[in-house]
Amino acid sequence: MWRLSRTDAFVRTARRLVKRDPQLSDPLAADLAQLEGDPHHPRLKLHALRGQLEGLWAARVTYRIRVVVVLHEEQREITLVDIGTHDEVYR
């Protein structure tokens, strides 16, 4: 089991996103639970980012929504950094 921590920016953005699209609440909760259980599960399509976001990882919540995280493999901790559409998080 991995431990999840959230940045304040992630919490604010996630609340705004779910308020704007309430149907996102269930998939987001399911994917956060999946991240906590096994971040490398194929359904999440977890992948390392490059360029300006190097060192961060992204997981897929829905076709258009991504969660950006920092993986701390040795501590088995995941820090949730950002959430949004593909264009919003990869800016």
Ordered domains of the chain (ranges, CATH)? 3-89 (3.30.2310.20)
Measure the CA angle with vertex 80, ends 89 and 47; round to 5°.
60
Q: Distance between CA 90 and CA 77 in Å, rounded?
A: 22
- Compute the radius of gyration of the chain from its Cα atoms: 12
Tokens found for residue 16:
């705004």
Q: What is the pTM of this model?
A: 0.92
pLDDT in tens, 7-43: 999 999 999 999 999 999 999 999 999 999 999 999 9
Q: Distance between CA 46 and CA 51 in Å, rounded?
A: 17
88: which residues sit within 8 A by CB, 6+ positions away? 82
